Amino acid sequence: MLKLLGAMLIVVAGAMIGHIKARRLADRPAQIRRFIRVLQQLETEISYGFTPLPEAMHKLAQQTAEPLSSLFAGITSNLQSSTGLTVKESWEQAVVERWPYTAMQEGEQDIILQLGSSLGTTDREDQLKHLRLASSQLGSMESEAAEEQRRFEKMWRSLGVLGGALIVVMMY
Amino acid sequence: MDVDVNAIFQIAGIGIIIAMIHTVLKQMGKEDMAHWVTLIGFIVVLFMVVRMLDQLFQEIKTIFLFQ
Amino acid sequence: MEIIQIVGLGLIATVLILVIKEQKPIFAFLLATFTGIVIFLFLINQVRIVIQTLELLAEKSNVNTIFLKTILKIIGIAYIAEFGAQIVRDAGQESIASKIELAGKMLILVMAVPIISVIIDTVLKLLPA
């Protein structure tokens, strides 16, 4: 009886591992889409609102959901801290620090870091152009992520269950 | 006898599950990893069979007076 | 009622083998081998009883034990050779199977030669010079 319980536990654990991997794959395109929307909001703020950068970051942090909101909160606190970092450095530091909590990968991180080096150094027109460039680049990464999700999501789930079942049978 | 019957079901279970994992991995495109998994499963089962074969031959040698 | 157990085991194993055979034939072969070994092991225990009875009879009737030993060894070779040949034949390798059977026959002949020479000696002694 106890053996059966343990066996079911292992299969459930395997299924959950597969489910988590599948969810990571599903989260990636969703988060990229949210980031694109955030960049568009930033675009609006800069071109129409003339808001200074720290305030814009603070607004974005409040308007988005996790994990992006803590990313922008980190940028805000870095900008407002008294250690006198430049915009580029505070952007980079917050991004690198919070990136592992997102489901996004290296490619997107590079795009965002590149964006950070242009914000705060160039004039408004240039910033808007860079924002639009980053948005379109993220758009292509999103379709790539959606394709990956479509192909692998169900696979990981069944792989998780099968792996659990295999371990159970081997340890019988 | 009871242990052996369980082992038969074990081998059958391993075979079926490994076949399914092979198919899933092949559909994902990772065909080489699929072949690795199948090979490892095959080696595990082979060990079980060879162990039982050794037991059989020992018994035969004992009963038919140690050829 | 052990025959029922064995037949049941054989049937279940055959079903499993058929299911696996179309996916991964190699596992089906291993499963068939394993089932054969299990059933054989179960039988060996029963055979042990018969052979012990035979040994007792041979001792009582004052036959030279070397004869009984030879006969038993020959039977053992026959069992093992048939088992191996049938399994290999199952996997489709008919040539290897017939080689195994040939090897069994040769070894049995080799074992039987001393007995045959003893028989011929005895018959020659019985014949009038």
How many angstroms away from the CA of C22 is the closest CA of chain B? 10
Mean predicted lDDT score pLDDT of chain B: 88
pTM (2 d.p.): 0.74
Give the Cα separation of A54 and A79 in Å (integer).
6
Does position A81 have pLDDT exceeding 80, yes or no? no
Does position A42 have pLDDT exceeding 70, yes or no? yes
Q: Which carries the bigger pLDDT value, residue B11 or residue A118?
A: B11
Highest mean pLDDT among A96-100, B22-26, C97-101: C97-101
ipTM for the predicted complex comes to: 0.87
- Taking CB atoms and an 8 Å limit, are A166 and B14 in contact across chains? yes
Q: How far is CA B52 from CA B14, B59, B61, C8, in A?
A: 17, 11, 14, 20
pLDDT reported for residue C87: 92
pLDDT band at A82 (very low <50, low <70, confident <90, very high): low
C122: left (phi over 0), alpha (psi -120 to 50) or beta: alpha
| Average pLDDT of the residues in A1-29 | 88
Q: Contact partners of C by the rule of 3+ C-beta pairs under 8 A?
A: B
Phi, psi of C82 (to 5 degrees): -65, -40
- Taking CB atoms and an 8 Å limit, are A169 and B14 in contact across chains? yes
pLDDT reported for residue C7: 93
Please, what sign has the CA dihedral across residues A28, A34, A35, A36?
Answer: positive
Contacts with A24 (C-beta within 8 Å, 6 or more apart), sequence order: A103
**Cβ neighbours of B1 in C, within 8 Å:** 5, 38, 42
Report which of A162, A7, C39, A130 is spatially closest to residue B14, judged by C-alpha positions.
A162
Contacts with B5 (C-beta within 8 Å, 6 or more apart), sequence order: C9, C38
Q: Which two tokens stand for residue C70?
A: 């030879």
pLDDT in tens, C18-35: 999 998 899 999 999 999
- Taking CB atoms and an 8 Å limit, are A162 and B10 in contact across chains? no
Q: Which two tokens stand for residue A14?
A: 């395997």
How large is the angle between the packed helices A124-170 and A2-44, nearest 10 degrees? 170
| Average pLDDT of the residues in B45-49 | 92
Does position A162 have pLDDT exceeding 80, yes or no? yes
pLDDT in tens, A102-124: 777 777 778 777 777 777 677 77
Residues of A (131-170) whose Cβ lies below 8 Å from B? 151-152, 155, 158-159, 162-163, 165-166, 169-170
pLDDT reported for residue C9: 92
Highest mean pLDDT among A44-48, A70-74, C68-72: C68-72
Report which of A70, A66, A68 is spatially closest to residue A138, judged by C-alpha positions.
A68
Residues of B (5-64) whose Cβ lies below 8 Å from A? 6, 9-10, 13-14, 17-18, 20-21, 24-25, 27-29, 41, 44
Residue A170 and residue B14 in contact, taking contact as beta carbons nearer than 8 Å: yes
Give the Cα separation of C9 and A81 in Å (integer).
76
